[in-house]
Amino acid sequence: MARQELARFLRDRRDGLRPAQLGLAEGAAPRRTPGLRREEVAELAHMSVDYYVRLEQARGPRPSARILDGLAQALRLTAAERSHLFGLAGAGAPPPAAGAVRRVRPHVARMLERLPETGAVVTDASYDVVAWNPLARALLGGDLGRPGANLARRRFLGEGRAYESSSAEEFGHIVVARLRRAAARYPRDARLGALLGDLRDGSEEFRRIWETRPVHAPGHRTKVIDHPDAGPLRLNCDVLLVPEDDQEVVLITADPGSPSARTLRGLSAGV
């Protein structure tokens, strides 16, 4: 166990976080440093303040995998940083993460706001919608932003507004491929397990595709959707990965100068 390096790593990551990033109030008393307080990290990691202080002072015992997992979540570590944390603690390879990351990083959320004529949606590994911009809602339906919105449930169980699309069959295979990967990565994720159970119980099509073990990589696709107000739209869908959180950003655009592009511009102006 590299106690000094572990202590330095914890201090550096704590100093690099801001309370607002975690939904914490700044408090009335001024902070000596802009980062989190030790007691805030301890509370987020579900451990005693004394134990955490001893880790930062390089005099604590070797932390268990449970403690390390709590620290990784509290400090918002990436997958690579989590592995590094386990290595510094002499704990070997980290166990699979407890579940899909269901929060969006602030810089990713800010990116969506800078795309006025591009619809953008961020989904986690289980297809929960964790961020979106106004044009995406105008394109895909207002229920996109409701609590618990999930594109797999929309596709296979008809939950929410689903428009007719030329890529519906292909998207079904893409969804199942990603959910199979998520099930392998997060076997302890109860919320994902419940989602898969509902999909198996409620959709024969899902069960059939699941058995084919589809494999799909995210990339560029073109589809036509029948929008109830704007009519048929030919759209491009491009996927950007947020690998540290196992999330995908879907960017929805239209070919420049096309009728669909003009429609998107009009929709964007109205939101």
pLDDT in tens, the chain (271 residues): 788 999 999 999 888 887 766 666 555 455 666 678 889 889 988 999 999 999 999 888 888 888 998 898 888 887 778 888 988 888 777 666 667 878 887 788 888 888 878 999 999 999 999 999 999 998 888 778 788 899 999 999 988 766 677 778 889 999 999 999 999 888 889 999 999 999 999 999 999 999 999 988 788 889 998 888 888 999 999 999 888 788 999 999 999 999 999 999 988 887 6
Enter the tokens of residue 120: 């953008």
Kindly write down the DSSP assignment for every residue of 122-184, as one continuous string: EE-TT-BEEEE-HHHHHHH-GGGGSTT-BHHHHHHH--S----BTTHHHHHHHHHHHHHHHHH
Triad 104, 143, 221: Cα angle to 5°:
70
Q: For residue 30, what are the contacts with CB-CB under 8 A and spacing of at least 6?
A: none
Out of 2.60.120.10, 2.40.30.10, 3.30.450.180, 3.30.470.20, which CATH number does the structure's domain 106-269 have? 3.30.450.180
Same fold? 3-88, 106-269: no
**What are the two backbone dihedrals, phi and then psi, of residue 249, each rounded to the nearest 5 degrees?**
-105, 115
As assigned by CATH, the class of the 3-88 domain is mainly alpha
Q: Which residue has the tokens 């990967």?
A: 181
pTM of the predicted model, to two decimals? 0.68
For residue 269, count CB atoms less than 10 angstroms from its CB and return exposed for 0-12, middle for 13-18, buried for 19 or more. Answer: exposed
The SS3 call for residue 238 is strand
User: What are the distances in angstroms from CA 168 to CA 88, 173, 247?
Assistant: 46, 9, 21
For residue 182, count CB atoms less than 10 angstroms from its CB and return exposed for 0-12, middle for 13-18, buried for 19 or more. Answer: buried
**What are the two backbone dihedrals, phi and then psi, of residue 236, each rounded to the nearest 5 degrees?**
-100, 135
The SS3 call for residue 20 is helix
The SS3 call for residue 203 is coil
* Residue 214, beta-bridge partner list: none
Domain boundaries, the chain: 3-88, 106-269
User: What are the distances in angstroms from CA 69 to CA 31, 40, 124, 172, 182?
Assistant: 27, 16, 19, 33, 18
Query: H or E stretch including 6?
Result: helix 3-16
